[in-house]
């Protein structure tokens, strides 16, 4: 007698599968997007969706195999899909217990630029009372190392932090002393307009492995229009500074960020070409923040979501075209989303994560000792709304600050899985909470998503990326590359 | 000031949700809330003399009440998963209650 059963014994039994948690969104004519608990996606037709929900698909159907592979359904006797989903969920949230990795020191509010969109209410260069003191910096450093994060990034911001360079030097030295005890992976970044970059700064950066982040809004006419300074030469100084840093320290020691203004919206290709001319192969096509001087100067009201989306689409399609021509260039926001969409990793981008990145991902130590949940929270305070002020270094302990209602309430109330519309949304795994933006624009941490510009903008980008991924093999290849960096 | 009455079924809406919505609209209207057997009678005193504007405010108020109902329900339904994830975030900070 054979010890082997007949082939028929190994055939799957009819309707032996059951649904796992998933969400769906009607994507376009004839297609429905399904996403599982960790955001892995598959497209089906309307009729197929009904068959899935009604469990009317035969077990031998190719769609059943596909849905099993994506953990939309499982064989009723299998535990492995549950274990895999749990593993993927743990992977997605693994950064959370690391807690605050980014610590922003606002060493001065002074700045010699007068950018109308600036989120900081800057003070003119001769008012030294807007500089952080050594005592405040020391208190901030003590709080930095209270964070359990094994990777600590200290970022110097302003105003213009090079206007208080002696304090930057002192903070770096003191942080390195403390780190001899704490043994974290410690990095430093100076966010500067580079107008004041000199040999002393470069030598210091070389000695202490300091990185630079600067603003580059595009070609000279656009950049200088956005970023006026005495002499009208902001672009020239920024570009010269980028070159100097790359020559002295290496090509990866400086990165750039652009800010979108009304004047930027017809110049997507020019901006990208400018970045490539400067040897920068990564560009972040950002929306404009509704904070600080941007509101005071009404420059935020000058554009709307649809116009910005046109700008973004044009920029992304141009970048894809460049990649097809063999020019390696990436778009940062798309890369962040694609990592969430196509892998189980969450890059922890502070403005697009849930729980929100405020406090958990980043914290800001202002020049006066006030501690804010995020850079945007500080900007909101400059507009008179101190909702995200967590405390003061000279009065409050780490416990007081990190367990304050000012942090815990927005974290809880903006949690996307608890939010109307977000909790049901097929794109929720790609998205995030932005309680500061919603507070600034609606007076509420959550906002009402049907009228939220944040929601509208992000859903449009998710759809755009999925549409390109599914329809264009070359775009798919580029997106997979970005997602896996 | 224009008064409008909105009647809401007590089985579908809670007084808490209605009051939260009214608070968010307190720059535009004031609320008198009356429980009448199985319904809530909401008398909205809208701060305008323009009838059309008052109707728009009332329409927006209804949407806000729905929003608050959903927030309450989903907040309750997802309390455990929210607490697990936030607890995970704070788990190594030394600030959790069993580390006090």
3-state secondary structure chain A: CCCCCCHHHHCCCCCCEEECCEEEEEEECCEEEEEECCCCEEEECHHHHHHHHCCCCCCCCHHHHHHHHCCCEEECCCCHHHHHHHHHHHHHCCCHHHCCCEEEEECECECCECCCCCCCCCECCCCHHHECCHHHHHHHHHHHCCCCCCEEEEEEECCCHHHHHHHHHHHHHHHHHHHHHHCCEEEEEEECCCCCCCHHHHHHHHHHCEEEEEECCCCHHHHHHHCCECCCCHHHHHHHHHHHHHHHHCHHHEEEECCCCHHHCCCHHHHHHHHHHCCCCEECCCCCCCCCHHHHCCCHHHCCHHHHHHHHHHHHHHHHHHHHCCCCCEEHHHHHHHHHHHCCCCCCCCCCECCCCECCCEEEECCCCEEECCHHHHHHHHCCCCCCEEEECCCCCHHHHHCCHHHHHHHHHCCHHHCCCCCCCCCHHHCCECHHHHHHHHCCCCCCHHHCHHHHHHHHHHHHHHHHHHHCHHHHHHHHHHHCC
CB contact, 8 Å: B90 with chain A?
yes
Q: For chain A, what percent of residues have pLDDT higher than 90?
A: 73
**Most A-contacting residue of B28, B61, B65, B74 (CB-CB within 10 A), to test interface:** B74
Mean of pLDDT values over A238-247: 96
Closest CA in chain B for residue A361? B89
Q: Does A96 touch chain B (CB under 8 A)?
A: yes
In terms of residues, how long is chain B? Answer: 100
pLDDT at A166: 96
Partners of A152 in the β-ladder: A186
pLDDT at A298 over 80: no
- Split at pLDDT 50, 70, 90, the class of A268 is very high
Give the mutation candidate from A21, A94, A96 for the B interface (greatest B CB count, under 10 A). Answer: A96
| HSE-up (13 A, CA, CB side) for residue A389 | 18
Tell me the CA end-to-end span of chain B in Å, nearest whole number.
Answer: 54
Q: Mean pLDDT over all residues of chain B?
A: 89
Cα(A84)–Cα(A329) distance, integer angstroms: 34
How far apart, in whole angstroms, are the C-alpha atoms of residue A70 and residue A20? 10
Restricting to A residues 389-448, those with a Cβ less than 8 Å away from any Cβ of B are 398-399, 402-403, 411-412, 415, 417-420, 423, 443-444, 446, 448
The verdict on a CB contact (< 8 Å) between B86 and A411 is: yes
Question: Which site among A390, A448, A449 would you substitute to test the B interface, given the most B Cβ atoms closer than 10 Å to its Cβ?
Answer: A448
pLDDT 10s digits, A186-207: 999 999 999 999 999 999 999 9
Whether A355 and B86 lie within 8 Å, measured CB to CB: yes
Rounded Cα distance between B29 and B50, Å, is 13
Contact B93 A402 (CB under 8 A): yes
pLDDT in tens, A419-478: 988 998 999 999 999 999 999 988 899 988 888 889 999 999 999 999 999 999 999 999
Assess A362–B contact: CB distance below 8 Å, yes or no: no
Taking each helix axis from N to C end, the angle separating A305-324 and A473-483, rounded to the nearest 10 degrees, works out to 100
Determine, for residues A444 and B24 on separate chains, whether the beta-carbon distance falls below 8 Å: yes
Asked whether the beta carbons of residue B81 and residue A93 sit closer than 8 angstroms, the reply is: no
Residue A112: what pLDDT? 79
Which residues of chain B from 67 to 86 reach within 8 Å of chain A, CB to CB?
A: 67, 70-71, 74-75, 78-79, 81-82, 85-86
Given a cut of 90, whether residue A155 has pLDDT beyond it is yes
Helix axes A305-324, A453-471, angle to 10 degrees: 30
**pLDDT tens digits for A408-435?**
999 999 999 999 889 989 999 999 999 9
Between A323 and A82, where is the model more confident?
A: A323
Q: In this predicted structure, what is the pLDDT of residue B93?
A: 87
Among A184, A403, A417, A420, the residue to mutate for chain B (most B Cβ within 10 A): A420
Residue, of A303 and A213, whose pLDDT is higher: A213
* Beta-carbon separation of A417 and B24 below 8 A: no
What is the rounded average pLDDT of the residues A342-348? 93
Q: How many CA atoms lie within 13 Å of A194's alpha carbon, on the beta-carbon side?
A: 25
Report how far residue A167's alpha carbon sits from residue B38's, in angstroms, rounded to the nearest whole number: 66
| Chain B CB contacts of A92 below 8 Å | none
CB atoms within 10 A of CB B97: 7
Residue labelled with tokens 């504007």: B53
Q: Which residues, 6+ apart, have CB-to-CB distance to A97 below 8 Å?
A: A148, B88, B89, B91, B92
Residue of chain A with shortest Cα separation from B96:
A403
Chain-centroid distance of CA A373 in Å reads: 15
Residue A297 has pLDDT above 50, yes or no: no
Q: Are A189 and A213 in contact (CB under 8 A)?
A: yes
Closest CB to B67: pick one of A97, A148, A420. A420
For A90-101, write each residue's pLDDT tens digit.
999 999 999 999
Instruction: Report the share of chain A in percent with pLDDT over 70.
Output: 92
Provide the edge-to-edge strand list for the sheet that holds B29-36: B2-9, B39-46, B29-36
CA-to-CA distance for A302 and B68, rounded, in angstroms?
Answer: 32
Interface of A with B in 263-322 (CB under 8 A): none
Give the per-residue pLDDT at A451.
82
Phi-psi region of A30 (alpha: psi -120 to 50; beta: other; left: phi over 0): left
């Amino acid at each position: 007698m054979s010890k082997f059963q007949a082939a028929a014994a190994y055939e799957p039994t009819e309707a032996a599968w059951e649904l796992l948690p998933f969400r769906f969104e009607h994507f376009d004519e004839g297609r429905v997007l399904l996403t599982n608990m960790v955001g892995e996606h598959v497209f089906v037709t309307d009729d197929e969706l009904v068959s899935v929900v009604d469990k009317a698909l035969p077990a031998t159907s190719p769609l059943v195999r596909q849905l099993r592979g994506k953990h939309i359904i499982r064989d009723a006797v299998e535990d492995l899909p549950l274990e895999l989903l749990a593993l993927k969920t743990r992977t997605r949230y693994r950064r959370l217990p690391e807690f605050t990795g980014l610590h922003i020191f606002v060493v001065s509010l002074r700045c010699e630029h007068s950018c109308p969109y600036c989120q900081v209410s800057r003070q003119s260069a001769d008012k030294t009372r807007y500089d952080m003191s050594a005592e405040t910096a020391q208190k901030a450093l003590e709080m930095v190392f209270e964070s359990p994060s094994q990777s600590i990034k200290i970022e110097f911001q302003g105003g213009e932090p090079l206007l208080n360079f002696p304090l930057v030097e002192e903070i770096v030295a003191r942080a390195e002393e403390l780190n001899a005890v704490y043994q974290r992976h410690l990095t430093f970044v100076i966010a500067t307009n580079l107008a004041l970059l000199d040999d002393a700064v470069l030598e210091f950066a070389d000695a202490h492995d300091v990185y630079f982040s600067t603003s580059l809004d595009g070609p000279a006419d656009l950049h200088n229009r956005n970023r006026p300074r005495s002499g009208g030469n902001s672009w020239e100084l920024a570009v010269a500074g980028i070159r100097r840093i790359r020559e002295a320290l290496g090509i990866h020691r400086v990165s750039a960020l652009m800010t979108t203004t009304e004047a930027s919206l017809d110049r997507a290709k020019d901006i990208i070409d400018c970045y490539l001319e400067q040897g920068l192969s990564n560009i972040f096509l950002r929306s404009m923040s509704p904070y600080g001087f941007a509101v005071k100067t009404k420059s935020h009201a000058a554009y709307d979501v649809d116009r910005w989306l046109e700008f973004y689409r044009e920029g992304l399609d141009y970048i894809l075209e460049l990649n097809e021509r063999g020019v390696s260039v990436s778009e940062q926001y798309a890369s962040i989303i694609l990592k969430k969409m196509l892998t189980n990793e969450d890059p922890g981008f502070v403005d697009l994560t849930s729980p929100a990145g405020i406090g958990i991902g980043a914290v800001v130590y202002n020049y006066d000792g006030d501690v804010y949940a995020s850079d945007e929270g500080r900007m909101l305070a400059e507009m008179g709304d101190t909702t995200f002020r967590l405390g003061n270094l000279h009065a409050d302990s780490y416990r007081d600050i990190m367990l304050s209602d000012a942090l815990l309430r927005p974290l809880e109330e903006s949690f996307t899985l608890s939010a109307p519309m977000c909790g049901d949304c097929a794109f929720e795994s790609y998205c995030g909470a932005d309680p500061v933006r919603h507070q600034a624009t609606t007076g509420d941490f959550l906002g009402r998503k049907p009228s939220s510009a944040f929601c509208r903008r992000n859903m449009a980008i998710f759809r755009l990326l999925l549409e390109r991924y599914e329809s264009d093999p070359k775009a798919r290849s580029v997106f997979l590359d970005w997602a896996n960096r | 000031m224009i008064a409008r009455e909105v009647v809401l079924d007590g089985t579908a809406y809670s007084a808490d949700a209605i009051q939260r919505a009214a608070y968010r609209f307190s720059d535009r209207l004031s609320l008198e809330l009356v429980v009448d057997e199985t319904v809530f009678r909401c008398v909205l005193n809208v701060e305008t003399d323009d009838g059309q504007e008052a109707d728009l405010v009332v329409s927006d108020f209804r949407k806000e009440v729905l929003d608050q109902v959903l927030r309450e329900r989903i907040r309750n339904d997802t309390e455990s998963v929210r607490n697990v994830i936030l607890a995970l975030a704070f788990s190594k900070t030394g600030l959790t209650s069993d580390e006090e």
